[in-house]
Amino acid sequence: MPDSIMASMGGLRSRLSVFLAAWVAVRYFYSRRAVLYVPGDDTRKLNKALSLDADCIVMDCEDGVASNRKEEARVTIRRWLDEGRTSTSTSEWSVRVNSVENALSGHMSGCQKINLIMYIESARAVLNLPHICRKIEQLSSTAPFKPAALVFGSDDLCASLGVTRSDDGTEILYARQKLVLVAKAFHLQAIDMVHINFQACASVQHSGQIVDLIPDLDGLRKQCEAGARMGYTGKQVIHPGQIPIVQQAFMPAPAIVEWAEGLIAAFQEHQKIGKNM
Amino acid sequence: MPDSIMASMGGLRSRLSVFLAAWVAVRYFYSRRAVLYVPGDDTRKLNKALSLDADCIVMDCEDGVASNRKEEARVTIRRWLDEGRTSTSTSEWSVRVNSVENALSGHMSGCQKINLIMYIESARAVLNLPHICRKIEQLSSTAPFKPAALVFGSDDLCASLGVTRSDDGTEILYARQKLVLVAKAFHLQAIDMVHINFQACASVQHSGQIVDLIPDLDGLRKQCEAGARMGYTGKQVIHPGQIPIVQQAFMPAPAIVEWAEGLIAAFQEHQKIGKNM
Amino acid sequence: MPDSIMASMGGLRSRLSVFLAAWVAVRYFYSRRAVLYVPGDDTRKLNKALSLDADCIVMDCEDGVASNRKEEARVTIRRWLDEGRTSTSTSEWSVRVNSVENALSGHMSGCQKINLIMYIESARAVLNLPHICRKIEQLSSTAPFKPAALVFGSDDLCASLGVTRSDDGTEILYARQKLVLVAKAFHLQAIDMVHINFQACASVQHSGQIVDLIPDLDGLRKQCEAGARMGYTGKQVIHPGQIPIVQQAFMPAPAIVEWAEGLIAAFQEHQKIGKNM
């Protein structure tokens, strides 16, 4: 049983359709600080994800799976869920489906409400974002999903726009902030872009020196903090080593919690004595 | 008699309703460089505002007044206006009313056109901004108000978006620039956010050293200049000490005036000799 | 025969109308890296443009021509085209027409499809941009034009917004990035703003020292690169000396071409062995 369905939203004509049937969603609210992708056709990586502390684990049928492995991914995920493999995990388990337009997705039937996480990853989707959210909100009153979050699919968006992104992402600031604003206007979570920078790292193994790629954690931290300041509540993750940094960045800082508690106390005090702040 | 009504604009369903009756607005154009808030229930501060040189003084019934002091504020402002207290002031005197949604506002009747200044302070309001302006423009053809300005309510907006704002406000650049653009498209003034930073300052009084909070004027100046460069024509002010800085920043610089006059002269000259610039 | 028509797009009510009749457009795709303006009433400059290597040359009837020279410009361009003067040039030759609203444009009749390049240069046009593109797309199914590109008319836009632009253009980032996004959503090219900075330069002529104005090429290069990173595919040019810098900036860098070719090869390889990237 997955907790959420993730689907890319294109133009207004995109219809939602998913291939996994008869699930019942049991939780509606999830914190989604670190959203980790796992290829849906890779049993070893799915097993490993069980031991990871990501808030949301995405069993991917889309970009993370080669075209000729899509069927394998669907069968694997189906079996994985039917066998209740995720039942001991505290993470949210989500399925990312393929677009209806390329006929790779199937149909969802007979299930109760499931969380819907929407990918925004093209110029057209950013342009139509308010319409998409309005339409999904309407559909959700009768359809078996509940809109939960928007995901900023920045790399596909950059390709769609012809953008060459710099480290601070100034080139896509318009789209990144529009997404947060529309998300909040529709009471949705906003999940920020993937940090894709890795650094070469020499690791010594018994057979000699090997060069590994490890996540650029300093760059990741800065990008997390910038996103959190803009109002994003979580971030996509493609390497387990990114999870702790991301989770920390999307926790409210102790000073902020203290400040908020102080503010509430002061407000109540001022109300009592009839003087505004 | 107030010169303007200030009201927060939410979703498209927000209706405009104000509680002060039977006023006649006499002036339609106001320069609104420094827009100062004064709690509507505080007679001492209202009196002090009479001697201040703010372009626009806001007698506040909203955030500046505690819930249990709203009625006091309404009565005070009503009396204050009926007694003609503002008649010697060169400032614009405005009333900021509460939202219709929380039933704290009253009804306006029988008055001639009054300036309407609209607060934009939520994700939903920024999203719907063009629709709000279009609707208000339509309504104003029959209703007793004239749309005059949009106010960027940045702190409530930050709360609505979950934004932690840095000094230069990069996190809300999308909303801040969208507001200017929509304002100018509808021939409205755009009034920039409040600068809320204060600095601790040791002031020596006869009984010993006291720590006061004074406005951070350097930070204020920078924020003013950034807003003015974006096309804002004024700024909200919460401390009399902020007024001179704000007024200066929203005056065209002498060099700009000179340049503009030179441009006009050159244009006329070129037109005369049949050569474009 | 011009290859394109350039027209300023205002509010939704702007109608498109051009004055030059009976042309047949032969090419539909043009690279438009450097888009050079030439006053339509200046035969000397039109002649000079024949020898320049700009991607697109704009025979201007609009801002570049004084009000009392409009008719002269129209006659000159008409004759210029009828005489086939541009037939040996490899550039695209385009005509920039005046707005319908000020009754300076004429009517286009009996021609086959011609490329339409749209100027976006007011708050209202940026606000209505998606509607404008949608409407033009609809009209183009029956009307004799094919929407080809949007031009960011930044200086008129700054005047419309009351913006004082700094070197990096932060003040108009919202509009500049919205334009790219809408362009790409409608499969249009996006042509960036003019770089208007010039530097005083002492040039020694036989009669002594003369001060010339030459383009600030360093500033130009930076602005080109920033625009290219945002997804712009070309830039407006007002001085022949700006052409090489602009053309270079809007070419994909060798490293990018190499990277793209490598990506394609790797993708094909991964598809072959059934593993995604």
Residue A171: is its pLDDT beyond 90?
yes
Q: Residue A14 carries which DSSP code?
A: P
pLDDT digits (tens, 9 = 90+) for C211-251: 677 889 999 999 999 999 999 999 999 999 999 999 999 99
Asked if B124 has any chain A CB less than 8 Å from its own CB, the reply is yes
Three-state SS at B52: coil
Q: In whole angstroms, what is the distance from residue C36 CA to residue C60 CA?
A: 10
Chain B residue numbers with beta carbons less than 8 Å from the beta carbon of C37 are: none
pLDDT for position C247: 95
Residue A243: is its pLDDT beyond 80?
yes
Q: In whole angstroms, what is the distance from residue C245 CA to residue C243 CA?
A: 6
pLDDT digits (tens, 9 = 90+) for B46-59: 999 999 989 999 99
Q: In whole angstroms, what is the distance from residue C37 CA to residue A184 CA?
A: 44
Chain A residue numbers with beta carbons less than 8 Å from the beta carbon of C181 are: 123, 126-127, 161, 174-175
Q: In whole angstroms, what is the distance from residue C146 CA to residue C187 CA?
A: 11
Cα Rg for chain B, rounded, in angstroms? 20
Asked if B233 has any chain C CB less than 8 Å from its own CB, the reply is yes
Q: In whole angstroms, what is the distance from residue A176 CA to residue B171 CA?
A: 10
Q: Read off the tokens for C20.
A: 């030059």
What domains appear along chain B, each with residue ranges and CATH number? Answer: 29-252 (3.20.20.60)
pLDDT digits (tens, 9 = 90+) for A15-71: 333 333 333 333 456 789 999 999 999 999 999 999 998 999 999 998 899 989 999
Chain B residue numbers with beta carbons less than 8 Å from the beta carbon of C165 are: 229
Whether C178 sits inside 8 A of A174 (CB atoms) is yes
Whether A271 sits inside 8 A of B63 (CB atoms) is no
Chain B residue numbers with beta carbons less than 8 Å from the beta carbon of A270 are: 66
Chain A contacts in chain C segment 136-195 (CB below 8 A): 173-174, 177-178, 180-182, 184-185
- Residue with the bigger pLDDT between A1 and B8: it is B8
Q: Which of A142-151, B1-10, B48-57, B235-244 is predicted with the least confidence, judged by mean pLDDT?
A: B1-10
- State what percent of residues in chain B have pLDDT above 90: 56
pLDDT for position A31: 86
pLDDT digits (tens, 9 = 90+) for B19-38: 333 333 334 567 899 999 99
Q: Read off the tokens for C221.
A: 């290069």
C218 labelled as ligand-binding? Answer: no
Among C130, C233, C271, select the one facing A162 at the smallest CB separation: C233
Whether B68 sits inside 8 A of A233 (CB atoms) is no
Chain C residue numbers with beta carbons less than 8 Å from the beta carbon of B130 are: 127
Chains near C (3 or more Cβ pairs under 8 Å): A, B
Q: What is the pTM of this model?
A: 0.84
Once rounded to an integer, what is the mean pLDDT over residues A254-263? 85
The helix (run of H) or strand (run of E) holding residue A58 is strand A56-60
Chain A residue numbers with beta carbons less than 8 Å from the beta carbon of B213 are: none
- Residue with the bigger pLDDT between C17 and C123: it is C123
Residues 6+ apart with CB under 8 A from A8: A14, A62, A99, A118, A119, A121, A125, A153
Residue C104: is its pLDDT beyond 50?
no
Q: In whole angstroms, what is the distance from residue C64 CA to residue C67 CA?
A: 10
ipTM of predicted assembly, 2 dp: 0.82
Res. C50 pLDDT band, cuts 50 70 90: very high
Tell whether the torsion through CA atoms of B257, B195, B115 and B140 is positive or negative. positive
- State what percent of residues in chain B have pLDDT above 70: 81
The helix (run of H) or strand (run of E) holding residue A256 is helix A254-273
**Amino acid (one-letter) located at B174:** Y
Count H helices, E strands: chain C?
A: 9, 10
Among A130, A177, A276, select the one facing B66 at the smallest CB separation: A276
Whether A276 sits inside 8 A of B69 (CB atoms) is yes
Tell which residue, C219, C7, C208, has the closest CA to residue C97.
C7
Q: In whole angstroms, what is the distance from residue C147 CA to residue C140 CA?
A: 7
To probe the interface with C, which of A174, A182, A196, A213 has the most C CB atoms within 10 Å?
A174
Q: Provide the annotated binding site of B for Mg(2+).
A: 156
Asked if A65 has any chain C CB less than 8 Å from its own CB, the reply is yes
The answer for C84, left when phi > 0, alpha when psi is -120 to 50, beta otherwise, is: left
Residue B168: is its pLDDT beyond 50?
yes
pLDDT for position C158: 96
